[in-house]
Structure 1
């Protein structure tokens, strides 16, 4: 662990009670440990969200850069209907 700094935070009474109960139950050694774990989870979630956004942006970029002509609404509807019919047949139901 790097250099530690002491900070002051404000929590609701319910949040503080949950932290203290977790420490008392032996899940964590101290309230500081609980908060460090919370920050690690927050950092991981931010990393994962950033990675997801990178993937989404890349997909959008590939779509925008796709040289194929855009599909007309009629063509899109026909393709969706064809896929729907295939799905219905695959599951043994009659198409409407």
Structure 2
């Protein structure tokens, strides 16, 4: 596997963040501060990808919902849900 060419950057961090990084590196959890920062970036990228996927799914569901028929008033929908819940509770008790 060929690695991409790395570029050196300079960042400024609060003292508590820097202390946490140094502590992890000195404990042996990471080989270097760069390794820890790369891992943090991978985690951030994964979180961003998951967030974008969730937003996309929500948008798809909203679009589908918008096209699925006439809107139902909130009170009517809530009453229907409550009735279904009560029916399920009765079945469980029997």
Distance 1:30 1:90, change over 3 A: farther
Residue 70 of structure 2 aligns with which residue?
A: 69
SS in 2 for 1:63: helix
Distance 1:90 1:28, change over 3 A: farther
Deviation at 1:81, TM superposition (A): 2.2
Q: How many residues align?
A: 91
Deviation at 1:90, TM superposition (A): 5.0
TM-score by length of 1: 0.83
State the distance in 1 between where 2:85 and 2:47 align. 36
State the distance in 2 between where 1:90 and 1:20 align. 59
Deviation at 1:65, TM superposition (A): 1.2
TM-score by length of 2: 0.84
User: Which runs of no fewer than 5 residues in structure 1 stay unpaired?
Assistant: none
Alignment partner of 1:3 out of 2, 5, 9: 5
**What does 1:6-85 align with in structure 2 at a 5 Å threshold?**
6-66=8-68, 68-73=69-74, 75-85=76-86
